[in-house]
Amino acid sequence: MSVSELTQELRGRFAGGVFGRIDRVWLTIAAVMALIAILAPEQFMPSLGFTVDALVQTAPFLLLAIALAAYAKASGSDNIIATAFQGSMGRMIVLAALIGGLSPFCSCGVIPLIAALLSMGVPLAPVMAFWLASPVMDPSMFMLTTATLGLPFAIGKTVAAVGLGLLGGFGTLAITRMGGFADVLRPGIGDGGCGARAVREPKPVRWAFWDEGERRRAFRDDAGKNLLFLGKWLTLAFVLESLMLTYVPAEAIAGLVGGNGIVPVAIATVVGVPAYLNGYAALPVVAGLMQQGMSAGAAMAFLIAGGVSSLPAAIAVFALVRQQVFVTYLGFALAGSMIAGLLWMAVAGSFG
């Protein structure tokens, strides 16, 4: 037996062993927690508690979206939902951006809904518009932003959310028309984006599907698969977030973007994309920094960039879609946040 044949056989045996049967993401989570316990034992329980609390807070959105997606598949109504998004692409993008700017989804809670829409065959352009606009603003965020940073800032952030959705939606449409994004979802996720089975092979709709064994199994299997997939990635993201919040304090991150001018806005945009600040918790931090001289434009860019692509959301997006879609998503987040910050800096300057 040659060395290459022996190596291949050993790899096959390893893949079929205990470790081969355990998902790599769960192994990574266990490894990270083990390292925390060894290197920073005092951080183990805080990280564990933070992860559990974050999952509990995300659970209502996660379970509702998963249940709705599984119901749509089992009942056959996913074809109706996908068909509802057909028609004028421009109208769909505008509507998706407007709805996204007012929807009560956080950057993590919107992930399962996006997965469901893409797997149902909804075109990527309106989905991207909703995806980018949704995490930035919602009714409760608007009220808290008004109380913390003032009504003009809250209105500006709402307009920026819709504008970001329009930028991403029409930008994605242009790329699609040039031949980009032939495949959207990663292999094994959904059924292939715009070519989803819901559109190719429509099934009769049966709203009360639970009296049919095959449809009940379809509901159970689809819900269980999505729950495990999204659950493991969000768990990993929240573990990493707990470490980020502990060893890279929010004040230190936001402190990098103090001052006035274009450079602080650019720094705020770049730092805001990977840095996770809960949208509600970020408001008082940013308000305090603005009192210390942080520009309104940098504050706007930081809040939008952090909201649209926090660390947990970015990890979930990376696991969900193909690399080119992920890079485009981050690109629109960066560009849109930068533009919003610069425009708001000019508008805020005209106020004062």
Confidence of residue 287 (pLDDT cuts 50, 70, 90): confident
| % residues pLDDT > 90 (the chain) | 20
Mean pLDDT of the chain: 77
Assess if residue 1 is contained within a domain: no
157 has pLDDT over 60: yes
121 has pLDDT over 90: no
Q: How many independent structural domains does the chain possess?
A: 1
Confidence of residue 11 (pLDDT cuts 50, 70, 90): very low
Residue 300: what pLDDT? 92
Assess if residue 116 is contained within a domain: yes
Helix axes 151-177, 323-351, angle to 10 degrees: 140
Q: How many helices (H) and strands (E) does the chain have?
A: 18, 0
Q: How far apart are CA 345 and CA 347, in angstroms?
A: 6
Q: How far apart are CA 29 and CA 6, in angstroms?
A: 31
Assess if residue 16 is contained within a domain: no
Assess if residue 121 is contained within a domain: yes
Assess if residue 2 is contained within a domain: no
Confidence of residue 344 (pLDDT cuts 50, 70, 90): very high
Confidence of residue 43 (pLDDT cuts 50, 70, 90): very high
Assess if residue 8 is contained within a domain: no
Assess if residue 12 is contained within a domain: no
In the chain, the amino acid numbered 340 is A
Coil, helix or strand at residue 3? helix
pLDDT in tens, 292-331: 667 889 889 988 988 777 666 677 677 788 889 989 998 9
Task: Give the other-Cβ count within 10 Å of 253's Cβ.
Answer: 22
Assess if residue 176 is contained within a domain: yes
Question: Which structural domain range is residue 330 located in?
Answer: 22-351
